[in-house]
Structure 1
Amino acid sequence: MSKKMLLVVLALMIAAFVFSAPAWSNDDEREEQKAKMLTDALATMYEKSPDVIIEEIITAKRPKAALPAEKKAIKAINVVGATVIDAADIENIVAPYRNQSLTGEQMQQCADAITALYEKKGYIASYAYIIPEKVSEGILQIMVQEITIGDIEIKGNQYFSNRVIEKKLGIRKGEVFNKKKIQVDIYRVNRHPDRKVHFLIKQGKEPGTVDIALLVKDKWPFHTVFEVDNYGSEAILRKRYKTYVSYNNLTGHDDSLTVKYQRTDAEAHELFDFDYYIPLNDKWKLQLYWMPKKVEDYYYSDNEWKDFEKHARKWYFFFYQSLIEEPGCDLVSSYGFVYKDIHWKQYDQFRAWDRFRALMWSLDYIKKDKMGTTVVMNDLEIGIPGMLDGNDYEDEACSVTGAGGGYKKNMLTVARSQKLFAGIEMLNKARWQLSSHAQPGVNVFSVGGYMGVIDMRGYPRAQAPGDRGYAYTGGFSFPAYFVPRSIPVPFSKAKLYDSLKFFTFFDWATAILKNPGEGGDKSTTLSSAGWGLTFSLPENFSARLDMGWPLRETRGKDGDHCHIWFRVTKGY
């Protein structure tokens, strides 16, 4: 699509952010996004970037000089043409050969060592060779042929333009060919779920070059996903039905738009939002998020006599800066602004409102190795009091005493998944939140349930709210050892053994309130344990079941002892 179309899409979304009519309520959509990002990162093991396909002819035509078998006094060694390797590294190789009498074999060993250095650094097509005419003069002259990139051709793409794919490439025509750099490009291009690219390297049309063909397999970037889970609170009847509609190349600029509709039984909860991403260049990406409607009606739970409702709207933008993006390692710094309106209504009268405007910064580090994955996330939020009709620094209109628009909140997450033996993996995850103010539901360190803020699967969602706190989750996952590896899953190309996994878990957390209120506990510590299973198929189907029991005398606020959590997802 044209640039005009892209500008129209951006203008409409920005206008909607700013001028949408107020709706209202507690929401935690970004927290769920971060939780899903963490879960996906830990569940995905390290995979080597696909090998580059290189024709043998590239290395087959390297010249070999006819050199004397007897020793020859060498008074000088000159290395010519080395531009991409540090001179000090070259000197480390040639120094032992200086001021000596060398056989032809020793001279060739020196040149081969330089070639090996190039290959080690990824310049696998470049090589060093000897000028034999200079040897008779007592000079060992080693020429370095640095093979450069010639033509770059893209083939097979149907839904993504050449320009979109080229923007993901770090390589350029005329630069010295480096396989490691190509592998980084493969990683970046193939991160998109709707395309896969292989690189074919062949002898260039021009001498001293290689040509590169990008062989693309892409698919229609339109998707729908249906999901049902019971991760909601008992106040909204728990079970949530979600529909996602996504287009992953909306205007032809590799941008994506996802529209989500979510509801619960009896319409106790309803949510509608838009999430838009667009890459600005190979290092920066922009996200625009708009939630025009989120409504929760507590009449249908056990609070009929209260007749409480919560209404919310929210929008934010983020600029994502990729500091490291290579196979096995990602480091992303993001900078944003969020606008939140949460209004509380009782008997058709507004009782309180949390109107927060804040600057946000986060740093996400994901490191994968052959034995597992390490994740470190830090999320900082700094409120701006009074901005755009927001709450004052500390405001009595807020839903919680001591809360206000001048808050500062930081959440640190450190996690590691580790391979052990016989298919067993161990998970450890720790979280720590600090806060300057008392926090309402939108920012609370909420302990309870699964895939909320803090997992505590032996208790209902939001069992123990806190302004600050710390938490730990540990556990093990393992294959279904009792299932024969050969049994197929009906209507799928997958094997049952590969699709089914079991896990155990232990959750522990302490939530601390600044203003617990009369008779309330300032600090609450909970722990629970249990087991579960996951079932996933390559046909975009997955299911998860968690069963948790409390390990302390504190009972769940819903009165249940065992809590069962489930999620079923099907994508198209």
Structure 2
Amino acid sequence: MSHSPCGGQALLLASFGVLVTAISGHAQISLPPAGESGIVEKSLRQSQPEFRPPLEKPPEIVIEDSRSVEDPGAGPTFVVKRIKLEGNTLFSDEDLAPFIDMGDSLKVTLGILNLMANEITHHYVQAGYILTRTFIPAQRIENGVVKILVVEGTLGDIEVFDNERISTEAILDRMQPVRDEKILREQTLTRVLLQMNDALGFEVKTVLKPGSRVGTTDMALKVKETRPYAISLDADNFGSRFTGKLRMGVTAKVGNIFALGDRFSMRAVKSNEDQLFLNLSFDYPINNYGTRVGLSFIYSDFILGDSLAPLLAGGDSALYTLNVTHPFYRSRSAEFYLTLGGEYREFRNSDLFGPTSDDQLADVFLTAGGLFTDAFQARTYYALRLQQGFTEGDLSDPLNSRNLGSGEVLIASLSIKRYQKAFIGKSYFIIRGNFQWANDRVLSADQFAIGGFGSVRGYPLAEFAQDNGLAVSLEYVVPFPFKVALTDNPKMKTLDQLVSFFGFIDHARVYAIDPQPGEVNREITGVGFGIRVNIPPWSPAIPAFSLTTSIGFPEFVKTEPSDRSDHTFYLGGVISY
């Protein structure tokens, strides 16, 4: 909700002025960015409510060991001049020499030799070879030479337990990368388990135990199945005054329909005015190494209201996307993937006089993204996208959405989000950055829009848009300072885990390539504060609830908001089941 000094009279006068302008010269009408179908669709996705993603839950890997602990000083002593290693192929004798250095000779016990063997095992485990075991085999010691046997560990049998909906064959197929390794690495096992646990309603725990064959380790996969679907309802006032500030949305996901890990998603949003948004997508694993193919369809339409209502203007858009994604690296703390895809996008606008624009864009794109953690106790998410268009190259087309704009443009965009511990209690920073560069003038759908929730709070949604731009944000989050239990239920979190306060500063700029009359580079800044409440489900029958409320103030020195408001109040909530 915004406060405007003009009120209803200003809206009436503005509407009358727009209508007079439309009648006197249709070709001269220039809609604000929030009135263009391409920007409407993009800004709606940009302004969706968001919450801090949970940390990656590490897969549970239990290693059962039948060996017993021995006292290093127990047993008789004997002189050892040299230790001979057998069975080591991954590390040379020189690599392992520091763990078995005897000097000229050394008086030892069997317990001391076992400690040396354990050090070698630890070295292998640190390198990720968790199945390796090192033993002192039964032997006759001759000339002071003792043999130590390294069993580098191969995988034996794999058994699956407690699965009902997902077949044993499907689960074993997903373990193929583990079977392919001659000597199993923890990194490979962790990656495969993380990918399997991404499936809705599916979680697997791994138990490794000595195999039935010498030198092997058997694996037991213990499956926990829950409901393979998720539903959430959300509402907020993050929308545009031209298409409806109040928005209600529903998101539904269903998994494991045709194969373990596939996912169908649907999101629909309706504003309190005439705006509708629908997104359907399907994601399918095409091999056992994490490669996925995705299909997506987005449709949106709207009729402009507020001061633009007399124009009877509106628009619609349809986006069709096909992509392939492959994870090249994944661990508990890092991830890297590449996505290659193509899009076909249609954007149409019209008013009371008829069609005003019709863009039909085709492009291919490559995205490199992922996440990483670092020594500063921070977690960073990133995505770099390169997009090349192939259509709408006729600059003289009267139905182009933007003067001298083209669809045959190369666009590079980068998004970064970093959660940085502040080292003051449990507080932390959220640092965001979004950047776009284009090599030529773009059409409306590819402009970089700024303003509103998800960009610069305190300004209207999609206040300005140009070819190139940047938007950065710094947010400081402080959890509730006291640990207060709300109920006697031990599963219910304390107040400091549920409530947090935050303050923010947002800044953004947009730049036009070859500026045309009326096009100006813009720079806006907003500041504000707010509160978030996140209540997780404490039982399967109870949904999770999230609420965020904040107030944003525009910085007037450079640019005054188009609605002349001195602040904007934001309220949004999500119920997830």
Give TM class, smaller chain. 0.7 to 0.9
| Contact 1:159-1:221 at 8 Å conserved across structures | no
Label 1:514 to 1:124 Cα distance change in 2 as closer, same or farther (>3 A).
Answer: closer
Shift of 1:380: 1.3
> Does 2:523 align with 1:525?
yes
> CA 1:122–1:272 in 2, change beyond 3 Å: closer, same or farther?
closer
Give 3-state SS (helix, strand or coil) of 1:235's partner.
Answer: coil
| Displacement after TM superposition at 1:93 (Å) | 4.3
Matched with 1:102 is: 106
Calculate the TM-score normalised by the size of structure 1. Answer: 0.84
Paired position in structure 2 for 1:514:
513
Q: Structure 1 residue 211 and structure 2 residue 218: aligned?
A: yes
Match of 2:6? Answer: none
Instruction: Give how far 1:406 is off.
Output: 0.8
Deviation at 1:494, TM superposition (A): 3.5
Q: 1:187 to 1:273 in 2, by over 3 A?
A: closer
Counterparts of 2:41 and 2:171, CA distance in 1: 31
Q: Could you say if the C-alpha distance between residues 450 and 562 of structure 1 is closer, same or farther in structure 2, counting changes exceeding 3 Å?
A: same
Aligned to 1:49: 58
CA distance in 2, matches of 1:101, 1:327: 44
Take 2:227 and 2:185, find their aligned partners in 1: how far apart are those partners?
Answer: 32
Q: Within 5 Å, give how 1:310-325 maps onto structure 2.
A: 310-325=315-330
Amino acid at match of 1:480: F
SS at match of 1:305: helix
Q: Is the 8 A contact 2:41 2:300 kept in 1?
A: no
Cα offsets for 1:372-417 (capped at 9, x unmatched): 21223211111113xxxx5537754311112112111111223322
- Distance in 2, Cα, partners of 1:191 & 1:505: 32
- SS state of the match for residue 187, structure 1? helix
| Counterpart contact for 2:367–2:385, Cα < 8 Å | yes
Q: Structure 2 stretches of 5 or more lacking a match?
A: 1-35, 538-543
2:435 aligned with 1:423:
no
Of residues 545, 552, 557 in structure 2, which corresponds to 1:541?
545
Corresponding position of 1:414: 416
Question: Residue 348 of structure 1: CA displacement?
Answer: 5.7
1:79-118 superposed Cα distances (whole Å, 9 cap, x missing partner): 2112333554234545x447x3332347556544323322
In structure 2, the CA distance between the partners of 1:73 and 1:209, relative to structure 1 (3 Å rule), is closer
Contact 1:394–1:403 under 8 Å retained in 2: no
Shift of 1:171: 1.9
Aligned partners of 1:230 and 1:240 also within 8 Å: yes
2:443 corresponds, among 440, 445, 463, to 440
The answer to whether the Cα contact below 8 Å between 1:477 and 1:503 also exists between their aligned partners in 2 is yes
Counterpart of 1:523 in structure 2: which amino acid?
Answer: N
Match of 1:404 in 2: 406
Alignment of 1:265 with 2:267, yes or no, is no
Gap change, CA 1:349 and 1:72, over 3 Å in 2: closer
Q: Distance in 2 between matches of 1:394 and 1:90?
A: 72
User: Following the alignment from structure 1 to structure 2, what is the Cα–Cα distance between the partners of residues 228 and 189?
Assistant: 32
- Seen in structure 2, the aligned counterparts of structure 1 residues 395 and 368 have a Cα distance that, compared at 3 Å, is farther
Amino acid at match of 1:438: R
Amino acid at match of 1:537: I
- Give the CA RMSD over aligned residues: 3.2
Q: Secondary structure at the match of 2:310?
A: coil
What letter matches 1:449 in structure 2?
A: G
Deviations 1:319-367 (A, max 9, x none): 1121111111011111111111101112262121121111111111311
The residue correspondences of 1:298-309 to structure 2 (distance < 5 A) are 298=304, 300-309=305-314
Q: Structure 1 residues 498-507 or 362-371, which shifts more?
A: 362-371
**Aligned residue runs from structure 1 range 2-21, under 5 A:** none
Is contact 2:257-2:263 (8 Å) kept?
Answer: yes
CA distance in structure 2 between the aligned counterparts of 1:161 and 1:503, rounded to whole angstroms: 46
Cα–Cα, structure 1 residues 493 and 110, in superposed 2: closer, same or farther, change >3 Å?
Answer: closer
Distance of aligned partners of 1:34 and 1:551 in 2 relative to their CA distance in 1, 3 Å threshold: closer
Deviates more, 1:422-431 or 1:183-192: 183-192
Aligned-pair identity (%):
20
Partner of 1:303: helix, strand, or coil?
helix
Contact residue 159 and residue 220 of structure 1 kept, 8 A: no
| 2:38 aligned residue | 26
Task: Please name the residue that 2:303 is paired with.
Answer: 297
Shift of 1:442: 1.6
Task: Write out aligned runs for 1:114-513 (5 A).
Answer: 114-131=120-137, 133-169=139-175, 170-172=177-179, 175-266=182-273, 268-281=274-287, 282-291=289-298, 293-298=299-304, 300-347=305-352, 349-369=354-374, 371-385=377-391, 390-392=392-394, 395-420=397-422, 421-451=424-454, 455-481=455-481, 484-488=483-487, 493-513=492-512
Unmatched segments (≥5 aa) in structure 1: 1-23
- Rounded Cα–Cα distance in structure 2 between residues aligned with 1:522 and 1:27: 18
| SS of equivalent residue, structure 1 residue 402 | coil
Between the aligned partners of 2:246 and 2:521, the Cα distance in structure 1 is 29
CA deviation map 1:120-169 (0-9, x unaligned)? 22444533234564522443322222333222112122333334433443
Is the CA contact (8 Å cut-off) linking 2:328 and 2:338 kept in structure 1? yes
Partner SS, residue 345 of structure 1: strand
Does the CA-based 8 Å contact 2:448-2:469 persist in structure 1?
yes
- Any conservation in 2 of the 1:279–1:286 contact (CA below 8 Å)? yes
Matches within 5 A, 1:553-572: 553=557, 554-572=559-577
- Matching residue's letter, 2:554: P
Q: Distance in 2 between matches of 1:366 and 1:36?
A: 21
For residue 473 of structure 1, report the CA deviation from its aligned partner. 0.6
SS at match of 2:179: coil
Q: Does the Cα contact within 8 Å between 1:339 and 1:358 map onto a contact in 2?
A: yes
Task: Quote the Cα distance in structure 2 between the aligned partners of 1:312 and 1:205.
Answer: 61
Matched letter for residue 468 of structure 1: N
In 2, distance between residues paired with 1:538 and 1:220?
A: 17
2: CA distance, partners of 1:311 / 1:279: 32
Distance (whole Å) between structure 1 residues aligned to residue 126 and residue 237 of structure 2: 52
SS state at 1:171 partner: helix
With over 3 angstroms needed to count, the CA separation of the structure-2 counterparts of 1:391 and 1:227, relative to structure 1, is farther
Whole-angstrom CA distance in 2 between matches of 1:402 and 1:93: 71
Specify the code of the residue in structure 2 equivalent to 1:499.
Answer: L
State which of 49, 71, 75 in structure 1 corresponds to 2:79: 71
How far 1:229 sits from its partner (Å)? 1.9
Distance 1:104 1:67, change over 3 A: farther
| Stretch deviating more after TM superposition (322-331 or 421-430) | 421-430
Determine if contact 2:65/2:210 at 8 Å carries over to the other structure: no
Does the 8 Å CA contact 1:394/1:404 hold for their aligned counterparts? no
Which amino acid is 1:346 matched to?
D
Distance in 1 (CA, whole Å) between partners of 2:173 and 2:221 is 13
- The residue matched to 2:123 in structure 1 has which SS? helix
